[in-house]
Amino acid sequence: MKKLLLAFAFCSFYFSPAAYSSGGGDGSSSNSSGINIDWNQGTESQAANHTSVMEELGVDEGDPRVIFMPAIVVPLVVDHRLQGYAYINSRLLVAQNSQARNVQANAHFALDRLIRASHRTNLTAESGDTIDMERMREVWLEALAEQFGDGVVARVAITPPDIRLLR
């Protein structure tokens, strides 16, 4: 029992957020090699984004036709130069008379198609600091049609991207 408690204490110390802090107290140390993690960052905006995406798709929470895709990293490129990355969270809406289970079971193939299409086609907006959302939807729907057939995925809803520009 003592060994179990000792192992638990060691793990909780080792994996606590404080173990990853920069050690500067206020986090202002610029030459620290630690990672400062804000565990509560953006939870309210994430919930609002999720709600707006479900409203955009026009379905209720829990609809089996909605497929939640993992985050996809899309490069931002201007004049053949990498400007940064956009982290995209999306939902796919399978058409009413299509097999949502088939799409869900093959979502890993869809993810591969979306990543490849996002890197093959420049999806950067003219401003260079974000994604052209309409162009992305077009490219992604084409890629999904190649995988599942025309009209199987009815819509793609995209949350506002998390943009990380290179400095």
**Calpha distance 99→84 (Å, rounded):** 37
Look at the chain and report how many structural domains it folds into.
Answer: 2
Domain of 26, in residue numbers: 1-38
The predicted model gives 70-85 an average pLDDT of 95
pLDDT surpassing 90 at residue 5: no
Residue 136, pLDDT above cutoff 90: yes
Any idea what the CATH number is for the domain that residue 160 is in? 3.30.479
What's the rounded mean pLDDT across residues 128-153?
Answer: 95
Does one domain contain both 161 and 105? yes
Indicate whether 21 and 94 sit together in one domain.
no
The answer, yes or no, to whether residue 82 has pLDDT greater than 90, is yes
In a 10 Å sphere around its CB, with 0-12 CB exposed, 13-18 middle and 19+ buried, how is residue 117 labelled? buried
The dihedral sign for the CA sequence 34, 40, 42, 47: positive
pLDDT interval class at 91 (50, 70, 90): very high
Q: What average pLDDT does range 116-141 have in this prediction?
A: 95
